[in-house]
Structure 1
């Protein structure tokens, strides 16, 4: 049962933490563990939608278009963690995936993030598609932002 951690790193301005929201979709490109063929497109799935796969459950199930192997991904229960500001910015695990028959290669951030400013003000459904985000904190009367968002997968 290979577990892969999705790790983020970003420069945060007046921002305390970034976290996922319930029902958020994950957009990931995978490589087949058998033939190493990379998926042509990103595959989207979330933790709330499950399907039966063999003797278990998965949030995403697919067949490799090249070798035909069945593969699946399950979001590990209670593995979601917030990304907290650090200086200098460092990679930190935000979620874990149980990947069978495929390995995550590339993550594309999207919508659905929850951002908390240092003042405690919360911003919902933040879009990180561009790997940057800026807003204004009316409590502290200052800008809040996320810059240079990077991601990587680490095998546990």
Structure 2
């Protein structure tokens, strides 16, 4: 019985600090929450194929840019866009990254912007998972796990 009041007394300074909250912003640099990532999925790779696309939706709390992606499941990961040029669908890397407007969901989807995994180390089968690390210009990196399957139409 004596230990409980002592434990409570020891916890009071911690509780008091937690109740104080964060100090008011000085207006300089402020950390905002992480970029929210939903619906991460990568297509399966048939035997012998070492390239696949991954899709997801990103919502940044403040304007930011997705600048790079990495995965231990592939030798290289890039952010790609698809667009029509001279009546042909063209795909190219977004070397400057993918802009993320504040508070707006940005979908990476089949036929549009997407993630390309190249040099996939092991075949990806439906039901597998793929770890991805997304790096942003200002927000902290986000580590996610994408499922392997067919993206919704």
User: Which is bigger in relative contact order (C-alpha 8 A, separation at least 6)?
Assistant: 1
**TM-score, normalising length: structure 2:** 0.34
Question: Which of the pair is proportionally richer in helix?
Answer: 2
Higher fraction of strand = 1
Q: TM-score, normalised by structure 1?
A: 0.34
